[in-house]
Amino acid sequence: MAEPTVSAVILAGGRGRRMGYQDKGLVECNGQPLVAHVMAAIAPCVGDIAINANRNLDEYGRLSRPVIKDRHPDYPGPLAGIAAGLDWCPTEALFVVPCDTPGIHGCCVERLRAALDGAEIAVAHDGHRLQPLHALVRRRCRDSLTRFLAAGGRRVDQWIETLDWRQADCSDRPEMFFNINSPEALHD
């Protein structure tokens, strides 16, 4: 099967509770917002990039266009950001990545693309566990996700289990998935 054309959505729509309610994507790391690190790493491997955000839209807009909001109110979680990304997605497949993993590498996209084959979604595995917010999702999964959210579903891993999915081995690069969840983690 031919490799799909890929766009990306960077998930930056959360409340940032563990980061003291700061907008995590805009928190600086080595002189740049976290989201800028992610954008730079994935840009060579994808076409269009959107940022999913629910606040500070003008600031995100200076970094990338488009900036897309959740269609669901009250910060229902990353699935709402994935749904917004699938609503926007101009290509056959959407790379989903959180804004708080500045060590992400383009090889993640390539491994997910290779693993996807005929499946609906490919999910990265770091050698210890699945990384469900590092995934390549076919645009055709939008209706499935809409139904899952409408039924009250909120957990990414539970939605993935409803799909035909594959695992991408990223066990040789587990540092790609280290996420910045607190101000202290910025200095680790």
Kindly report the CATH number assigned to the domain that includes residue 175. 3.90.550.10
Percentage of the chain beyond pLDDT 70 is: 90
Tell me how far apart the alpha carbons of residues 165 and 150 are, in angstroms, rounded to a whole number: 21
The pLDDT, as a whole number, for residue 4 is 65
pLDDT of 48 higher than 90: yes
Binding residues for GTP: 11-13, 24, 52, 70, 100
Report yes or no on 114 lying in a domain.
yes
Binding residues: 11-13, 24, 52, 70, 100
Query: Which pLDDT tens digit goes with each residue over 26-46?
Result: 998 889 999 999 999 999 999
Q: Which domain holds residue 153?
A: 6-183
Report yes or no on 188 lying in a domain.
no
3-class secondary structure, 169: strand
Report yes or no on 111 lying in a domain.
yes
Report yes or no on 163 lying in a domain.
yes
Report yes or no on 134 lying in a domain.
yes
* Run of H or E residues at 134: strand 130-138
Binding residues for Mg(2+): 100
How many structural domains comprise the chain? 1
Residue 22 banded pLDDT, cuts 50, 70, 90: confident
Report yes or no on 1 lying in a domain.
no
Query: Which pLDDT tens digit goes with each residue over 54-77?
Result: 999 999 999 978 999 998 777 678
The dihedrals phi and psi of 61, each to the nearest 5 degrees, come to -60, -25
